[in-house]
Amino acid sequence: MTDVHALCAAMPGATLTFPFSEETAVYKVGGKIFALTGVDRATSINLKAEPQDVTGLVETYDAISRGYHMNKKHWITVQLDGGLPEGLLEELIEDSYDLIVDKLPARDRP
């Protein structure tokens, strides 16, 4: 299984926070959330996605659903059970990160 914590923490300027509970790891860049996942037993991860991509991802992959407890138009939940093609999880984490960074003022970008 891919270590989602390592992938998220490796993003430039990423910080790990716990604003909701000690069991929920929240990764931010520039003070904005790009990923949420469990701390000890990460079985899924919530990631930001382009609204036009959300529907296609949900319809294509059984391991991807609309964001759990998130805005269903902008967020996806990815099950970490190995049901995705090689490299797709990494790509989705990078895309989520890039969506946040692209909207940050230049002075706040890593």
Query: Looking at residue 68, what is its pLDDT?
Result: 81
Counting the structural domains of the chain, the total is 1
In-domain check, residue 109:
no
Sequence-distant (≥ 6) Cβ neighbours of residue 11 within 8 angstroms? 27, 29, 34, 93, 94, 97
In-domain check, residue 110:
no
In-domain check, residue 75:
yes
> Which range marks the domain in which residue 20 is found?
4-104
- pTM surpassing 0.75? yes
Question: Does the structure show a pLDDT above 90 at 102?
Answer: yes
In-domain check, residue 29:
yes
CATH number of the domain that 98 lies in?
3.90.1150.30
Averaged pLDDT, 33-53: 93
Question: Does the structure show a pLDDT above 60 at 35?
Answer: yes
